[in-house]
């Protein structure tokens, strides 16, 4: 599975952005998919995800502002980000858990990251 993320950019506080993540390869092997972010000097953290059982999960810091969605026909996941604040500045990565085989089992695939910068 390969992931291609896009949609990052510079936005003013209070603005919105929508990130896209296009998956390719063995799409049917994907078990879950989500978005992570890493701010300078901080650890990578989960932002939003579709879980293995098909539910959505969000970090407390983005609940009510961010929405994860997907278009199965386009093999694409989205992250709609509203009411952005400077604290949301980070590199955003899409991630997918996918089944590789009986040996390695489920493996995480990562996109290349897209930078979101929110100015105050």
**76 within 8 A of 22, measured Cβ to Cβ:** yes
- The rounded distance, in Å, linking the Cα atoms of 81 and 14 is 10
Question: 52 pLDDT exceeds 90?
Answer: no
Please say whether the dihedral angle defined by the alpha carbons of residues 51, 117, 87 and 112, taken in this order, is positive or negative.
Answer: positive
Helix (H, G, I), strand (E, B) or coil at 111: coil
Question: 53 pLDDT exceeds 90?
Answer: no
pLDDT in tens, 93-115: 999 999 999 988 999 999 999 99
CA–chain centroid gap for 106, Å, is 18
pLDDT in tens, 22-44: 999 998 999 999 999 999 999 99
DSSP letter at 25 equals S
pLDDT in tens, 60-79: 999 999 999 999 999 999 99
């Amino acid at each position: 599975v390969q992931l291609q993320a896009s949609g990052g950019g510079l936005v003013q506080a209070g603005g919105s952005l929508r990130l896209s993540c296009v998956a390719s390869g063995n799409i049917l092997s994907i078990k879950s998919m989500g978005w992570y972010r890493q701010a300078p000097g901080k650890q990578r953290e989960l932002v939003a995800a579709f879980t293995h059982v098909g539910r959505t999960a969000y970090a407390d810091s983005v609940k009510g502002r961010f929405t994860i969605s997907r278009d199965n026909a386009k093999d694409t996941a989205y992250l709609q980000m509203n009411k952005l604040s400077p604290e949301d500045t980070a590199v955003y990565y899409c991630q997918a858990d996918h089944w590789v085989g009986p040996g390695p089992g489920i493996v995480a695939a990562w996109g290349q990251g897209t930078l979101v910068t929110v100015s105050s």
